[in-house]
């Protein structure tokens, strides 16, 4: 890996040095220095995202005012009942290109040591099928009938009550493999039944479903549904390599995380290879960096974290197109603004190939010292967070003061686009050959 510029090591023994955020990361700064510039904004709040900034090729459109991505919707079957799913990633390049999906080779590792972590599905097609797709027969399915409940705790987070509104059965995983194939797809189920679909309180749809559009064959130029069914899914705003990005959140193995993420609680994901694995042999996981107690306030350019999304992002309410206050808050930065690791547009081949939609959360909690010195500022880059946690445990820890690292919560978060310029390089770089989780492993451009 090429290293840009000089090596930079932050020496914690220096007196009078504070840690301050600068455009997505933490660097050493004199305590009496001028305040650092505000970090990148969370992006445009209106209009349609240009196609050139869309990562997921099959996305029909991304609406930045109403905070949704429209994706093709596919009909499946579970025990004779209709289910509806989207497809966002494939573990092999050919199928990814063919279907307009994100290429995520690490998905091939999803069933290592855990056969139930990938559903083995079958396909059937009508004998008179013309330009239509075959029906996927799923082994497991979510139950969307529970009522999602999120009640803020005394400080916002942790919540006083958190009940998922969608729960997968023991055989449900968003990852599927068609019998006879080696390709693993990310195919979350987002609705069940033949309609009408509840897009207000989500009794038969996933919590992020804002609209379901049936297939429209009347305008098709020839045989077959050339205007297939589609679904509008609520977006999530975050950061990667200092740049604002867009993704969706579909499933989580942790019930509280699932509630906050408006995702399906899918316990089967817990067995995926492997806890803390990230960029290691056999791992399907990547890292995502949520903050518990960042600053709050919707107009605050330093706001970030779980308390922020509960207080400022209408997290306790149902998401719907009629809830315009919620949509406005999220479009203006009310999401937790998590930081993702590897991204499909990064310059280096190995970093692009390390992308996976299955993110393992590294929850960060600012210490009282960091809060008192107003250092709990917005972060936007993976390696700057890791450097800070490694060299300044007096400022950033895991929740409860534990050593910073994985909390074993997994979230299925397919990326769909970026908002300004594409993420290409991290703001600081790990030294060649280093283990990036350890002190002394970073250099500055």
Residue 407 pLDDT class (50, 70, 90 cuts): confident
Q: Which two tokens stand for residue 18?
A: 């504070």
Cα gap 229→219, rounded to integer Å:
13
**Which tens digits make up the pLDDT trace of 151-207?**
999 999 999 999 999 999 999 999 999 999 999 999 999 999 999 999 999 999 999
Residue with tokens 């603004």, as numbered in its chain: 337
**Has residue 441 got a pLDDT over 70?**
no
pLDDT bracket for residue 236 (50, 70, 90): very high
pLDDT at 34 over 60: no
So where are the chain's domains? 17-444
Confidence at residue 406, expressed as pLDDT on a 0 to 100 scale: 86
Which of the residue ranges 4-8, 120-124, 258-262 would you say has the lowest mean pLDDT?
4-8
- Top pLDDT among 38 and 306 is at 306
Using 50, 70 and 90 to split pLDDT, how confident is the model at 215? confident
Mean pLDDT within 138-162: 97
Contact 123, 180 (CB under 8 A): no
Is the pLDDT at 225 greater than 90, yes or no?
no
- Percent of the chain residues past pLDDT 90, beyond the cut: 77
Are 254 and 290 a contacting pair, CB within 8 Å?
no
Q: What pLDDT is stored for residue 131 in this prediction?
A: 75
pLDDT at 443: 60
Structure tokens given for 208 = 């992020």
pLDDT for 369-397, tens place per residue? 999 999 999 999 999 999 999 999 999 99
The reported pLDDT for the residue numbered 219 is 42
39-78 pLDDT tens trace: 789 999 999 999 999 999 999 999 999 999 999 999 999 9
Which conformational region is residue 249 in: left (phi greater than 0), alpha (psi within -120 to 50 degrees), or beta? beta
pLDDT at 16: 27
Helices (H), 267-381: 306-312, 324-331, 349-353, 368-372
pLDDT tens per residue, range 254-309: 999 999 999 999 999 999 998 888 888 899 999 999 999 999 999 999 999 999 99
| pLDDT the model gives residue 64 | 98
């Amino acid at each position: 890996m090429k290293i840009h510029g000089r090596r930079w090591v932050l020496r914690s023994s220096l007196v009078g040095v504070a840690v301050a955020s600068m455009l997505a990361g933490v660097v050493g700064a004199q305590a009496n220095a001028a305040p650092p510039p505000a970090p990148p904004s969370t992006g445009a709040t209106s209009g349609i995202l240009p196609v050139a900034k869309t990562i997921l090729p099959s996305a029909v459109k991304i609406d930045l005012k109403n905070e949704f991505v429209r994706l093709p919707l596919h009909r499946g079957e579970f025990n004779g009942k209709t289910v509806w799913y989207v497809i966002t990633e494939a573990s092999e390049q050919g199928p990814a290109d063919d279907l307009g999906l994100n290429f995520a080779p690490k998905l091939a590792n999803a069933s290592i040591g855990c056969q139930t972590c990938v559903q083995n599905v079958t396909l059937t097609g009508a004998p008179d099928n013309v330009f239509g797709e075959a029906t996927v027969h799923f082994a497991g399915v979510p139950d969307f009938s529970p009522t999602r409940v999120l009640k803020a705790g005394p400080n916002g987070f942790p919540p006083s009550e958190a009940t998922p509104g969608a729960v997968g059965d023991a055989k449900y995983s968003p990852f599927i493999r068609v019998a006879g194939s080696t390709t693993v797809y990310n195919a979350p189920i987002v609705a069940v039944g033949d309609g009408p679909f509840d897009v207000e309180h989500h009794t038969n749809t996933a919590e992020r479903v804002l609209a379901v559009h049936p297939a429209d064959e009347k305008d098709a130029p020839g045989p077959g549904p050339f205007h297939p069914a589609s679904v509008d899914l609520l977006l999530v705003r975050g950061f990667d390599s200092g740049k604002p990005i867009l993704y969706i959140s579909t499933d989580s193995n942790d019930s509280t995380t699932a509630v906050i993420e408006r995702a399906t609680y899918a316990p089967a994901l817990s067995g995926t290879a492997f806890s803390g694995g990230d960029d290691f042999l056999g791992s399907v996981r990547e890292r995502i960096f949520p903050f518990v107690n960042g600053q709050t306030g919707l107009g605050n350019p330093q706001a970030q974290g779980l308390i922020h999304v509960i207080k400022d992002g209408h997290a306790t309410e149902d998401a719907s197109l009629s809830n315009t206050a919620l949509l406005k808050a999220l479009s203006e930065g009310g999401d937790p603004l998590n930081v993702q690791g590897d991204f499909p547009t990064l310059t280096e081949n190995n970093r692009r190939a390390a992308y996976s939609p299955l993110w393992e959360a590294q929850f960060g909690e600012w210490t009282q010292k960091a809060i008192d010195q107003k250092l709990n500022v917005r972060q936007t880059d993976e390696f700057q967070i890791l450097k800070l946690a490694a060299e300044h445990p007096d400022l950033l820890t895991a929740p409860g003061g534990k050593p910073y690292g994985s909390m074993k919560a997994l979230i299925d978060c397919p990326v769909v686009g970026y908002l300004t310029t594409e993420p290409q390089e991290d703001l600081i770089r790990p030294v060649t050959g280093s283990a990036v989780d350890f002190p002394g492993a970073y250099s500055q451009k």
